[in-house]
Amino acid sequence: MWFRNLVVFRLPAPWSIDVDALAERLAARALAPCGAIEAETHGWLPPVKGGSYLHAVGGQWLVRLGSEQKLLPGSVVKQFVEDRAVALEEQQGFKPGRRQLRELKERVVDELLPRAFVRRRSEWAWIDPVDGWLVVDAASDTRAEGLVEMLRDTLDELPLRRFDTERSPGSAMTEWVAEGDAPAGFTVDRELELRAPDEEKATVRYLRHDLEGEEIAAHIRAGKRATRLAMTWSDRVSFVLTESGHIRRLAFLDVVKEALDSTSGDAEAELAAQFALMTGELRQLLPAVAVALGGERAVEG
């Protein structure tokens, strides 16, 4: 169980909340299956099947948000509506208007939903109540915000803010590439995206490419700025840092995974071991990223 894409938030450190009360609140908002005419539902799932809704290992917490969504392709709905519209036109002697078409579509969707396939998805989040991290494993802001909003609704309130640094990741990454000098503890790897700040946003991407060439320097002198940069921290974790401060394609290297004993055959024990190892690394990586970006921005007020 390894996170791949990190959207990082900050909690008060330490975050004072009763773990049992939190688990009870999560259980009270458990995922319910989609009803016959429901298009989508959201709710919490136990990270370990049959276990608590809050999986705690060494003071670190793991939560899992589930969703069920009816798969109803727009092309199928459109075809049904068109067929009904033709029949209605023959019946009334004139083409149906916008209001009638809208009502037809609503009826078609209500009829088809009970027969639609259901897709279940999960979003995972790690909560560090000691150092004040909340990290969502999500490839988009939309999915991360969805989990955060669900957690806020579950708890009624959530003292959360975005992870924010004194230096913008874009300007820092551009400087590291231009000067060929990675921040302490990090190496710059062979993947880079540069983008012009104008309306056209001309973009150049390099993959498995030497980043010290004159061509890249020329792009930077012309005004392009780094928007994605592959890096490795302490020879233990590799990732791609984005201009928004997200961490993508996170990978724990062999030197980390070799510490695991994966022969137990106990799924819950293996998940707990992986989670403990992962959070132990991330509790060091995230502060190192903050330092590389000039430190965290002070909270006003």
The residues spanned by each domain of the chain are 6-72+115-162, 74-114, 169-292
Name the residue with higher pLDDT: 135 or 210: 135
Amino acid, single-letter form, for residue 262 = S
Cβ atoms 158, 132 nearer than 8 A: no
d(CA 109, CA 44): 27
pLDDT of residue 33: 87
Q: What separation, in Å, do the N-terminal and C-terminal C-alpha atoms of the chain show?
A: 38
Helix residue ranges per DSSP H, 29-168: 74-92, 98-112, 141-155
Name the residue with higher pLDDT: 259 or 223: 223
35-44, 193-202, 214-223: lowest mean pLDDT where?
35-44
Residue 199 pLDDT grade (very low, low, confident, very high; cuts 50, 70, 90): confident
Is the pLDDT at 241 greater than 90? The verdict is yes
Name the residue with higher pLDDT: 36 or 233: 233
Over range 41-70, report the average pLDDT: 92
Q: Give the predicted TM-score (pTM) of the model.
A: 0.84
SS3 76: helix
pLDDT of residue 301: 52
pLDDT of residue 131: 96
pLDDT of residue 265: 65
Please tell me what DSSP assigns to residue 259.
T
Is the pLDDT at 271 greater than 90? The verdict is no
Over range 153-178, report the average pLDDT: 94
Is the pLDDT at 269 greater than 90? The verdict is no
Is the pLDDT at 37 greater than 80? The verdict is no
Residue 263 pLDDT grade (very low, low, confident, very high; cuts 50, 70, 90): low
Please tell me what DSSP assigns to residue 30.
B
Is the pLDDT at 256 greater than 80? The verdict is no
The residues, ordered by sequence, that sit 6+ positions from 257 with a Cβ below 8 Å of its Cβ are 277
Over range 241-260, report the average pLDDT: 89
13-22, 74-83, 94-103, 166-175: lowest mean pLDDT where?
74-83
pLDDT of residue 1: 74
Over range 44-53, report the average pLDDT: 91
pLDDT of residue 103: 83
Instruction: Reply yes or no: is the peptide bond before residue 33 cis, omega within 30 of 0.
Output: no
* 153 phi and psi angles, rounded to 5 deg: -65, -35
SS3 271: helix
pLDDT of residue 110: 77
Over range 150-179, report the average pLDDT: 94
The pLDDT > 90 percentage for the chain reads: 61
| Residues constituting the chain | 301
Over range 42-52, report the average pLDDT: 91
